[in-house]
Amino acid sequence: MYELSFNIPKGVGSTGKIKLSNSEMRKVFTEGVNWAIKNGYGWEEDKYFVDDQGCMDGANPDYVSKQAIDRGNDQVGTLGSGNHFLEIQKVDEIYDEKVARVLGLEKDQITVMIHSGSRGLGHQICSDFIKVMQQSSSKYGIVLRDKQLACAPLNSPEGKKYYAAMACAVNYAMTNRHCLTHWVRLSLERVFKKSSRDLGLELIYDVSHNIAKMEVHNVDGVKKQVCVHRKGATRAFGPGHESITSKYRDIGQPVIIPGDMGRYSYILVGTEMAMTESFGSTCHGAGRLLSRAKAKKKIKGSELKEELFRKKGIIVIAGSLSGLAEEAPDAYKDVSKVVDVTHNAGISRKVARLVPLGVLKG
Amino acid sequence: MGEMDKRYEQIEHLSDVGLRAYGKSLEELFENAGEGMFSIMCDLAKVSPLSRREIDIVERENVSVEQLLISWLENLLYLFEVEKMLFSSFKVHSVKVQSDKSNKDGREGDEKSKEARVKAEIFGEKIDFTKHEIIVAIKAPTYHTLEVKRDSLSGSWVANVIFDI
C-alpha cells in the first residue's frame, strides 16, 4: 500500500507525473487509451477491455476551452479526491463460476479497483457548456426546473459541440485510469520483484459511468438510434451485443460497482433484460446515506482508520482524515442491498463480491 | 460570533457540499463566498496571505448576479487547480451587474453597457503539504438550487451554492 501511495499521484493540488503540452492533450482527447499505450502506459491488449476499445468517437478538441486544458494538463494519471479511490481487494464470494472464469476471477484472488474520472478538465467542460446552454435552453423554448439543468437539442450546433467536447473528456478519463493502472502495475512489480505479466495483472474491464452515448435501442418495437445519458447509472449490455469485446460477448458486458471502503464492491454482468427494461443500464454505486457534513460530525477520520484496521484488517492511506470521515462506510448505503435490487430486477447479474484489503484515498 | 455577524456556513446536501454566504453588500457577499468555498477545502487558519492575485472578471453577456457569482468562484477554483494556490483573504473592490428588475440589485448600473464585472484582490499561498491538509477538492460550483437574494428590510445579501466534489 505504501508503495502504491508513493507512486500514485492523488492530484489534489499536487502535480501528476505527466505534464502534457497542448498538442499532446489533443492527442489524448482524440486517441484515448491508444495514446497511453503508445506512450508506454499499458499493454497493447488492454484496449480490448475498455468500453469502445478505449476511444470514444466524435471527439473534437477544438471545443475544449483553454481553461479546461490548463486544469487537465497535469492531472493525467492522478486519482483525485471526493469519492475517488484505489483499492486492493480480495474476491470473497463467487456467484457465477462460469462467468467469473471468463472474466479471469476466482475465489481469494487479489484484485485492484480504481475509481477516477476526467478530473478538473471534465468539470471545466461542464461549466463552460452550462454557460452556453443557459442561453440555448431559452432559444429553443425549453423550460427546466433546476438552473443546473441546461440543455439544447442534440442536433443543434450547441448540442453537437457539447457532445464533441464530452467525448474528449471521456477519452481523457479513460487515459487517466489507464495511466493509474500502469503505476499500479509498476508498484506491484517493485514490491513483488516480478514482472506485472508474471503477477497476472491483466485488466478485467474499464467502464465509464456518468456518460452519454449514441446507441441503437428498441423503442416501442422500432430500432432507433438514441442518446442514452447514464447519470448515476452504468451501461450493462446483455450477452451477444456487438459492442462487447469478443472475449466477453457471450457473458454480457462487465459492470463494476464500487461500494464503500469497509464492506464490499461487486462485479456484475449486463443482461438481456437490461436491454428491454432500462436501455442496457444498471446502478452505478451504493449511493450516499449521510451528507458529508453529517458524516464528518458523526465520524472521526482517525478513529475510522484505526477501527478499519483493528476490526477488518483494512489498511487505509488517505490524504486527509476529515476527507476520510466524509467517505466512511456508514455514510453510504449498503451496496449489497443496492446490487441485490438490480440482480433481482434482472437488469444485471452478480458475478463476484470483492472485499477491500487496502484503500488509497486522495 | 452572533447570528448577525455570521459570514458563511456549510449547509446540508446529501452527495455534495453546500455553502450559505452572507454580506451587507454584494462585494462582501462575494468575499465571504470565496472564503467559505476555500474553508470547505482546508483549514484557512493555516493559509498565510503571502501571495497576491488580482482578479478582473468581465462578462459581456447580460448575466445575472447568480451567474456572476458562479464565474467568480470558478475563477478562484481555476487558480487553485492550475497554480496550486490556496486563498484565505479576499478583498472584492466592485461587483457590477445590470440593474434590471430580475436581480433586484437596487443600485445604479451602467445603462449603456451590458457588461458585468468583478474586480478583486485575493491573498493566499501555494499549497504546502507539510502544513496544509486538503480535506476535499471542490471541482465546481453548480447552479443546482443556486440562489442570491437581498433582504428588502436590511438590504443585506445571502447566497446558497452547492459545490460538486
Selected residues 18-77 of chain B with any CB under 8 Å from a CB in chain A = 61, 66-67, 70, 74
Sign of the Cα torsion A117, A118, A120, A123 reads negative
For A322, nearest residue in chain B (alpha carbons): B135
Nearest to B135 among A70, A288, A322 (CB): A322
Q: Judge: B135–A150 Cβ closer than 8 Å, yes or no.
A: no
Contact A47, A33 (CB under 8 A): yes
pLDDT single digits (tens) A76-105: 999 998 899 999 999 999 999 999 999 999
Residues 6 or more apart in contact with residue B51 via CB below 8 angstroms: B85, B123, B124, B125, B126
Q: Give Dmax (Cα) for chain A.
A: 62
Contact A355, A89 (CB under 8 A): yes
Q: Judge: B12–A291 Cβ closer than 8 Å, yes or no.
A: yes
In chain B, the percentage of residues whose pLDDT exceeds 70 is 88
Range of the domain at B77: 27-140
**C-alpha dist (Å) from residue A352 to A97, A99, A103, A238, A336:** 9, 9, 10, 17, 11
Q: Judge: A326–B133 Cβ closer than 8 Å, yes or no.
A: no
Quickly list H helices, A200-285.
Answer: 272-277
Mean pLDDT, to the nearest integer, of B88-115? 68
Mean pLDDT, to the nearest integer, of A216-237? 95
SS3 A52: helix
Question: Of B76, B134, B162, which to mutate for an interface test with A (greatest number of A Cβ within 10 Å)?
Answer: B134
Residues 6 or more apart in contact with residue A344 via CB below 8 angstroms: none
Q: How far apart are the first and last CA of chain B?
A: 28
CB B46: neighbour CB atoms within 10 A? 13
Q: How many CB pairs under 8 A join A and B?
A: 94
Q: Judge: B137–A81 Cβ closer than 8 Å, yes or no.
A: yes
Mean pLDDT, to the nearest integer, of B66-79? 95
**Closest to B34 (Cα-Cα) out of B116, B79, B110, B90:** B90
Q: What's the pLDDT at A137?
A: 85
Fold of A82-115+207-362: tRNA-splicing ligase RtcB (3.90.1860)
Contact A180, A362 (CB under 8 A): no
pLDDT band at B4 (very low <50, low <70, confident <90, very high): low
Selected residues 66-105 of chain B with any CB under 8 Å from a CB in chain A = 66-67, 70, 74, 78, 80-82, 84, 86
User: Which tops the pLDDT comparison, B6 or B113?
Assistant: B6
Mean pLDDT, to the nearest integer, of A185-192? 96
Chain A closest-CA separation from residue B13 CA (Å) = 6
Which chain A residues contact residue B146 at CB under 8 A? 147-148
CA A68 remoteness from chain centre: 20
Options A84, A182, A284, A343, the catalytic residue: A284
pLDDT band at B93 (very low <50, low <70, confident <90, very high): very high
Task: Return the H-helix or E-strand segment holding A37.
Answer: helix A33-38
pLDDT single digits (tens) A30-50: 999 999 999 999 999 999 999
pLDDT band at A14 (very low <50, low <70, confident <90, very high): low
Which DSSP letter does residue A200 get? T
Q: What's the pLDDT at A218?
A: 94
pLDDT at residue A204 greater than cutoff 50 = yes
> With an 8 Å Cβ cutoff, is B127 touching chain A?
yes
Question: Of B102, B135, B138, B142, which to mutate for an interface test with A (greatest number of A Cβ within 10 Å)?
Answer: B135
Average pLDDT, chain A: 95
Residue B154 resides in a domain:
no
Chain B closest-CA separation from residue A203 CA (Å) = 28
Residue B108 resides in a domain:
yes
Mean pLDDT, to the nearest integer, of A323-344? 96
Chain A closest-CA separation from residue B98 CA (Å) = 17
**C-alpha dist (Å) from residue A290 to A2, A85, B111:** 30, 19, 47
State the cell numbers at A72.
487537465
What is the length of chain A?
A: 362
pLDDT single digits (tens) B119-157: 999 999 999 988 999 988 899 999 988 999 999 999 999
pLDDT single digits (tens) B123-133: 999 999 889 99
Residue B22 resides in a domain:
no
Half-sphere exposure of A279 (CA within 13 A, CB side): 19
Residue B163 resides in a domain:
no
CB A277: neighbour CB atoms within 10 A? 14
Buried b (16+ CB within 10 A) or exposed e, A37-74: bebebbbeebbebbbbbbbbeebbbebbeebbbbbbbb
> With an 8 Å Cβ cutoff, is B163 touching chain A?
no
Which chain A residues contact residue B10 at CB under 8 A? 293
For B66, nearest residue in chain A (alpha carbons): A147
Task: Return the H-helix or E-strand segment holding A211.
Answer: strand A209-219
Q: What's the pLDDT at B62?
A: 76
For B126, nearest residue in chain A (alpha carbons): A13
Which residue in the block uniquely carries the three cell numbers 493555516?
Answer: B46
Instruction: Report the distance separating Cα A238 and Cα A261, nearest Å.
Output: 29
Which chain A residues contact residue B164 at CB under 8 A? 123
- In chain A, residues under CATH classification 3.90.1860.10 are 82-115+207-362
Which DSSP letter does residue B153 get? T
Which DSSP letter does residue A41 get? S
Q: Judge: B78–A70 Cβ closer than 8 Å, yes or no.
A: yes
In chain A, the percentage of residues whose pLDDT exceeds 90 is 86
The verdict on whether A241 is a catalytic residue reads no
Q: Judge: B67–A134 Cβ closer than 8 Å, yes or no.
A: yes
Phi, psi for A231 (deg, rounded to 5): -115, 120
- What are A218's strand-pairing partners? A223
Selected residues 72-91 of chain A with any CB under 8 Å from a CB in chain B = 80-82
CB B99: neighbour CB atoms within 10 A? 14
pLDDT at residue A13 greater than cutoff 80 = no
Q: What's the pLDDT at B108?
A: 46
Residue B112 resides in a domain:
yes
Which chain B residues contact residue A294 at CB under 8 A? 12
Q: What's the pLDDT at B3?
A: 52
- What are A353's strand-pairing partners? A93, A266
Instruction: Report the distance separating Cα A329 and Cα B113, nearest Å.
Output: 53
**C-alpha dist (Å) from residue A1 to A4, A182, A188, A191, B46:** 5, 15, 9, 10, 29
For A296, nearest residue in chain B (alpha carbons): B135
Q: What's the pLDDT at B102?
A: 42
Instruction: Report the distance separating Cα A356 and Cα A347, nearest Å.
Output: 25
Residue B39 resides in a domain:
yes
Instruction: Report the distance separating Cα A33 and Cα A20, nearest Å.
Output: 15
For A122, nearest residue in chain B (alpha carbons): B139
Instruction: Report the distance separating Cα B47 and Cα B132, nearest Å.
Output: 8
pLDDT band at B99 (very low <50, low <70, confident <90, very high): low
Q: What's the pLDDT at B44?
A: 97
In chain A, the percentage of residues whose pLDDT exceeds 70 is 99
Residue B6 resides in a domain:
no
Domain count of the fold of chain B: 1
Nearest to B136 among A82, A147, A290 (CB): A82
Q: What's the pLDDT at A86?
A: 97
ipTM given for this complex = 0.84
pLDDT single digits (tens) A254-312: 999 999 999 999 999 999 999 999 999 999 999 999 998 899 899 999 999 999 999 99
Mean pLDDT, to the nearest integer, of A343-358? 98
Instruction: Report the distance separating Cα B16 and Cα A355, nearest Å.
Output: 26
Quickly list H helices, A89-213.
Answer: 97-103, 119-139, 157-192
Residue B116: CATH number of its domain: 3.55.10.10
Q: What's the pLDDT at B15?
A: 79
Phi, psi for A347 (deg, rounded to 5): -90, -5
> With an 8 Å Cβ cutoff, is A312 touching chain B?
no
Residue B157 resides in a domain:
no
State the cell numbers at A281.
443500464
